[in-house]
Structure 1
Amino acid sequence: MGRRADEKRRARMAELGGEATHFNTYEMVRLARDERAAGGTVPGPFLATMRRTVRLGYFTDQALAKLLREVTEPVLNPGEPWADAAMADAAMADAPPGLLAHLLTATGSRPTAAWSRAALALCGPEPAAVRDAAVRWLALAGRPRTLPLRARPGESAGDRGYDVHNADALKGLAWLLSVLPPDPASVRALGALVETSLRRVPGLGPHSPKVANAAVLALARTDHGAALGELARLAARVTYKGTLKQITAALDAQAAERGVGRAEIEEMAVPAHGLTGTGRREISLGGARGLLEVHGTRTRLVWTNAKGRQVATVPAEVRRDHADALKEIKASARDVEKALSAHGDRLDRQFLADRTWTHADWRARLLDHPLLGTLAGRLFWLLEGETPMLGGTTLDGDPVCARPDAAVTLWHPLGRPAEEVAACRALLERRGVTQPFKQAHRETYPLTDAERTTRVYSNRFAGHILRQYQLNALAAQRGWTAKLRLGVDDSCPPLHRELAPWGLRAEFWVESSGGDQDGDLTGSGGYTHVTTDQVRFHRIGDPHNWNHACGGAYTTRSAPVPLEEVPERVLSEVLRDVDLFVGVTSVGNDPTWQDGGPGGRHRDYWRAYGFGELSRTAETRRDLLARLVPRLAIGDRCAIDGRFLRVRGDLHTYRIHLGSGNVLIEPYDRYLCVVPRRSAAVHPAGLPYEGDGMLAVVLSKAALLAGDAAITDPTITSQLH
């Protein structure tokens, strides 16, 4: 009887060890006490369930809390790869005794001096070895759980975010790195921890903002040049407001300490990442030579072996004799790519920053910088408000000589002579330059007669149906703030972006679409779609307008700024953002929505958008394709036809809409549903700018349909016959 009871008890504990939390705390206490009384130990997964239940429960069971004070092993909850690795190292004496338990005490907002001293003392005489172990553990943070968890309906899924018990130890791990000898690997690990911790979990939100904030604090306290550069990179990447505020405060403090502005410190902080020339790094390992070069926003590493012959892979002697150095080189190359992406976005935002550099600072911080120079050299600049430059040369290719204090600004096509804009575009194509973002081909949005009539608002982008979650994510990337609209009794401000240099706040009015009908609400209660309305401007500091989360008219609380009083570039850039939001998140460019979505309510909108007039962005795409198509391998099968790219296949002739990417089969305009693969979003080489995902989709569909006789995908072939 006793053995069967033991087996039954242990089977029940094993079962409960697969749950995120368990409601019956009395049962858990009884099982644990009986197991200890029988001379056994409480299994780690079951202990983890008890810990999570106490931390996430609506009330505290005193008996369970008392039991958890008595049972302390394993120190961390098993089931997360990083925690498993840390406990394995501790068991093998590869981690200092007591360190993991100390990490769990990181429950405050910042480490005290006593906490830091104790952490450093626990690391013993080889703190660098502990640092290396911590970096290894952090590399596993956020990976899929090794012990999946079940979650009951309405309960947070414990296997989709950090374990609530282990999260404190992750905070402590970040703090620990800030008191250990710094190096690029630890800085890299902290930056990655920020991004991993802010990665959104469906239905739950970010993994753990408190862990992200701990990593930011650790970077701010790390005495290493790379740490400041990592903060500058994160400032251009992070959209979560609380963490972004902490990053901003850290950079502001560094700027004040050096007596420069915030924008200047972000540029001064960018490290070279080992590059010795602009976009180049020469490497020597034994008899082998390597050349790391930047191409656009990617890097390429080419090797020459000891015999002087270029080889396709890393030479065997390098892999054998210089494994650690090779690992660091590859990590540095990834750092370069991440930095290029982030700082390209930061430069793109300078159009609304009203930024001016002296010629001397511009050359030192941008054009001649080993990393930023690869971006600045592909952009147009304006010297003293008059002379356009591509990098450091005039449009004729002559070097620019200027006084050190001469003013340099980022060139913008709005207000520039048409012949100058055309010359800039032609120069890019002639030299084969791909800009990191649209500049010479940038869309402009001057005030229209209709907007002069409405006076205080623009209806240019009203009446669209957008995917709310995708819209909010894209808006955050562009510096806008968006509150998720839920099917609850709440109020929401419009999407808005503060334009501090101009003292303005831009607003994009949206409201929920469809009420509470089937298909309009997600499982977590958020509306899947919103409809669009006005774009307005208000003074910064004016009260926000708002409407009900479930829809309805807006309540206005402050007077709008007349559009004619908004600076031309500000208006143009804000409307360009809104055009981007519509172009990317509209249901009209979803090829699976031909039935009009839930209940068929939006069929007319889908058809009107998916095959209607082109937006300014789509017009730019059409103009570029008109010049590009003749140079394509399938150029003899393609032609621009108004709003469409016409493609002649072997079976049919097709028309691809240049705004939505939707496809019609001639001659009866029969719809062809082609869902692009993820790889179709990769930007084709040889184009004058990056960042137009729909252009990549149009070209990929054109290449597919030009060879329609070779298509094997049954979801497509079934529609062709």
Structure 2
Amino acid sequence: MSDDSADLRAHLDALNAPRPTRAWRRRTLELLAAPAARDEVLRRVRWYATKEPDLVGGRPFSDPSLRAEPGGRGRVWAAALLGDPGVIPLLDVIARRAAGVTREFEPSAKLAGGAVNALGEFTDPRALDVLRGLSRDVRYPGLGRQIAAAVEAAAARRGITPAQLVERGVPAHGLGRDGSLARDIGAYQAVLVIADPLTVRLTFTGADGRPLRTVPGALKVPFAAEIKELKSLVKQVRATLAAERTRVEALMAVERSWPYAEWCRYYRDHPVTGAVARGLVWEFEAPGGVWHAATPGEDVLVTVDGRALPDPTAGARVRLWHPARAFPGAVRAWRGFVTGNRMAQPFKQAFRETYRHAGPNGRAGAGPGPGFDGELRRVFAEGEWRVSHHDGTRFERGTAGRWREVRPADVPPLVFSEGTREVDLFLRVTALAEEEPFGAPSASAEIRGDVLRRVLPGTRIAGRCAVDGRFLVVRGELRTYKIHLGSAGVLMEPGNTRLSAEPARLPGPKGLFLPFEDERLTQIIGLAALLAADHRITDETLLRQIRRGA
């Protein structure tokens, strides 16, 4: 199928390692000196990425094409050595196909590993963004290690740490500092904007000044290529924004700080990362080693009492604020600030579950409740720590390539809190946890209760709702209901009989501000809105349950 010269084909087929030697690279570039050779390599790599799968009997993972390709690894490396950034999206697709992410082709560890390591050769930030996406989506541990190795190799070439490489390589996608981009298309102006840490919007504004969320009919045919490019850009920005939310949240387990000038450049002022950073609380070091908490406002750092924090010096340190490191009064104050200012946080920060070690026997003093079990093993804190759970929670620290268990009493506070949180959240969503839908509330349930006390007073159902221990009590016209803050299960009074309500039938919390995304909290509020007006329910299945025993 290939028209490669015999020498080039033999050379590419001979690559039998994930990363080629310098001699192999030199010889490859010599053989690619001819334009025809370069074109043929790129054509074949493009075929790997665009070939329609031939699924045997319609079964997933049944197309053998990529696995059967003998020189695939050599060709993706040859394409990468050409330095053409247009190869980056092709390598992304190839890695996903060969790793089984797309469920089309028989997995090929050689080809997937070759594509991953070849991506590490690029200095273009988009390649690093692709590697981050792959690390999130790929499920094979071996390939995950190769992704980490590719990032480490790229960082070593620049003389920085992998964490620094990732945060400095976040693509801006052509957006301005405010996270927006405008293009004139026909008689309309298309505007792509990061509206908040969770939302990317594309609108079209015509002569009447009214923004449209859909593509105007007048643009669909004559400007089809431009529209396609814009939609692709929206997809890329959303992927980068999601990756940044995940990356920055992972820093909650790390004792890491930045010089103020560096933090401004790579966090506050970055077109994408800035949308995440400006929705968070940070700490700024003052002379004498005192830390002051503030959040980025309009060209000013705002403290919890609404005052402006003096600008730190360029070398002053900045770190991410964590409630486990703050006094309870400060945590309550920041929660009030977040809800009072309708500050949408990219992840739970002010309302984050925290866990502290307590107890002389070295066991966790706060964590998963009794009766919960499951299996979990997760690496976190930039790969330095691992938490696992099976009949108990264990912390291990990576040292010289080996994992060594550390007593909970000796685990750093942030690592302990975040690791225990991982275990608790994991166990609460297992089937075992669901066996006690009305049991003692978890830390997450207590957080939901705090949020509800703060946001419900401004709603039309405020007079009918009250948080009482582990329940949100809702007074309807027909009955009184108790919604469990952990499971969202509903009990009806009198008699504490259970009500079965399908989540799909629930109305959403219209216009209600929530400081973070929480599907269970949204479900609880939807239930409350429904049951507060139970006399208006038309669903006969629900009505029969409500009227029975009322």
Which band: TM-score by shorter chain? 0.7 to 0.9
Tell me the equivalent position of 1:424: 334
Counterpart AA for 1:288: Y
Counterpart check, 1:434 vs 2:344? yes
Counterpart check, 1:270 vs 2:183? no
Counterpart AA for 1:461: P
Tell me the equivalent position of 1:697: 523
- Equivalents in 2 of 1:433, 1:267: separation in Å? 24
Counterpart AA for 1:620: I
Q: Structure 1 pair 133/206, CA: closer, same or farther in 2 (3 Å)?
A: closer
Aligned partners of 1:588 and 1:660 also within 8 Å: no
The Cα of 1:570 is off from its aligned counterpart by 2.2
Aligned partners of 1:289 and 1:305 also within 8 Å: yes
Q: Structure 1 pair 164/128, CA: closer, same or farther in 2 (3 Å)?
A: closer
Counterpart check, 1:243 vs 2:166? no
Counterpart AA for 2:294: M
Residues 223-264 of structure 1: CA distance to partner in whole angstroms, max 9, x if unpaired? Answer: 633213322454466564222221222222222222212111
Tell me the equivalent position of 1:148: 57
Q: Structure 1 pair 714/427, CA: closer, same or farther in 2 (3 Å)?
A: same
Name the Cα RMSD after superposition: 4.1
Counterpart check, 1:368 vs 2:269? yes
- Equivalents in 1 of 2:509, 2:13: separation in Å? 45
Residues 618-662 of structure 1: CA distance to partner in whole angstroms, max 9, x if unpaired? Answer: 111111111222233443443222211123445543221101111
Counterpart AA for 2:521: L
Tell me the equivalent position of 1:587: 432
Tell me the equivalent position of 1:282: 182
- Report matched runs for 1:106-117 at 5 Å: 108-110=16-18
Tell me the equivalent position of 2:129: 229
Residues 64-98 of structure 1: CA distance to partner in whole angstroms, max 9, x if unpaired? Answer: xxxxxxxxxxx7xxxxxxxxxxxxxxxxxxxx878
Tell me the equivalent position of 1:555: none
Counterpart check, 1:182 vs 2:9? no
- Report matched runs for 1:113-152 at 5 Å: 130=43, 134=47, 137=50, 148-149=57-58
Alignment equivalent of 1:342, drawn from 239, 243, 256: 243
- Report matched runs for 1:437-516 at 5 Å: 437-448=347-358, 451-452=359-360, 454-456=361-363, 460-461=367-368, 463-465=370-372, 480=378, 505-508=386-389, 510=390
Q: Structure 1 pair 561/299, CA: closer, same or farther in 2 (3 Å)?
A: closer
Tell me the equivalent position of 1:663: 490
Unaligned runs of at least 5 residues, structure 1: 1-74, 76-95, 150-158, 482-496, 511-532, 546-557, 590-605
- Equivalents in 2 of 1:352, 1:443: separation in Å? 13
Q: Structure 1 pair 367/542, CA: closer, same or farther in 2 (3 Å)?
A: closer
- Equivalents in 2 of 1:109, 1:168: separation in Å? 17
Specify the SS of the correspondent of 2:167: helix
- Equivalents in 1 of 2:510, 2:348: separation in Å? 13
Counterpart check, 1:320 vs 2:165? no
Specify the SS of the correspondent of 2:279: coil
Deviates more, 1:110-119 or 1:571-580: 110-119
Unaligned runs of at least 5 residues, structure 2: none
Specify the SS of the correspondent of 2:174: coil
Q: Structure 1 pair 544/696, CA: closer, same or farther in 2 (3 Å)?
A: farther
The Cα of 1:369 is off from its aligned counterpart by 0.6
Q: Structure 1 pair 226/566, CA: closer, same or farther in 2 (3 Å)?
A: closer
Tell me the equivalent position of 2:447: 620
Residues 589-622 of structure 1: CA distance to partner in whole angstroms, max 9, x if unpaired? Answer: 3xxxxxxxxxxxxxxxx2xx31122111211111
The Cα of 1:698 is off from its aligned counterpart by 1.8
- Report matched runs for 1:520-599 at 5 Å: 533-538=391-396, 540=398, 561-589=406-434
State the aligned residue count.
526
| Superposition TM-score, scaled by structure 1 size | 0.63
- Equivalents in 1 of 2:310, 2:340: separation in Å? 20
Aligned partners of 2:67 and 2:98 also within 8 Å: no
Aligned partners of 2:355 and 2:366 also within 8 Å: no
Tell me the equivalent position of 1:291: 191
Aligned partners of 1:381 and 1:410 also within 8 Å: yes
| Superposition TM-score, scaled by structure 2 size | 0.81
Q: Structure 1 pair 304/366, CA: closer, same or farther in 2 (3 Å)?
A: same
The Cα of 1:585 is off from its aligned counterpart by 2.2
Tell me the equivalent position of 2:119: 219
- Equivalents in 2 of 1:134, 1:716: separation in Å? 55
The Cα of 1:580 is off from its aligned counterpart by 1.1
Residues 324-368 of structure 1: CA distance to partner in whole angstroms, max 9, x if unpaired? Answer: 222121111111111111111111111222211000100011111
Residues 647-688 of structure 1: CA distance to partner in whole angstroms, max 9, x if unpaired? Answer: 344554322110111122221112223343499999986211
Determine which structure has more spread, i.e. the larger CA radius of gyration.
Answer: 1
- Equivalents in 1 of 2:501, 2:372: separation in Å? 21
Tell me the equivalent position of 2:255: 354
The Cα of 1:405 is off from its aligned counterpart by 0.8
Sequence identity percentage: 31
Alignment equivalent of 1:387, drawn from 292, 298, 322: 292
- Report matched runs for 1:68-107 at 5 Å: none
Specify the SS of the correspondent of 1:574: helix
